[in-house]
Amino acid sequence: MVSESPNDDTRSPSVVAPLIERARFAPGDIVRHRMFDFRGVVFDVDPVFSNSDEWYEAIPEAVRPAKEQPYYHLLAENDDSSYIAYVSQQNLVADGDSGPVDHPQIDTMFEGIERGRYRLRAIHRH
């Protein structure tokens, strides 16, 4: 018979996982970047960084965000263009009061805007 007492040295060591923040935004939320002049609509959320190391290391170290936080995929726009952005939670703020986002892919994922937030099309819901 094997006993498992608190002082049993045969037990596996405990694993300490980093504290991960909860996502503040969800698909359909309109956000803007804290430092750069662009805004967008969240269309997907990664609970932690999930892009390439090359992409991450291309960010200047002085402003490189931590990996252990939610990252958001955005249909983004600025004064010059529309594009897809990947942004850390610490660099985003809510911006639903500033009106709709003018991105050409909005209508493929969302079916309108209501109270500063886009409604996800039924086909894209989990």
30-124 in CATH: which number?
2.30.30
**pLDDT value, residue 16:** 59
85: helix, strand or coil: strand
Would you put residue 105 in left (φ > 0), alpha (ψ -120 to 50) or beta?
alpha
**pLDDT value, residue 124:** 58
Tens-level pLDDT at each residue, the chain (126 residues): 444 444 545 555 665 556 668 999 999 999 999 999 999 999 999 999 999 999 999 999 999 999 999 999 999 999 999 999 999 999 999 999 999 999 999 999 999 999 999 999 987 555
In this structure, are strands 30-33 and 71-77 parallel, antiparallel, or unpaired?
unpaired
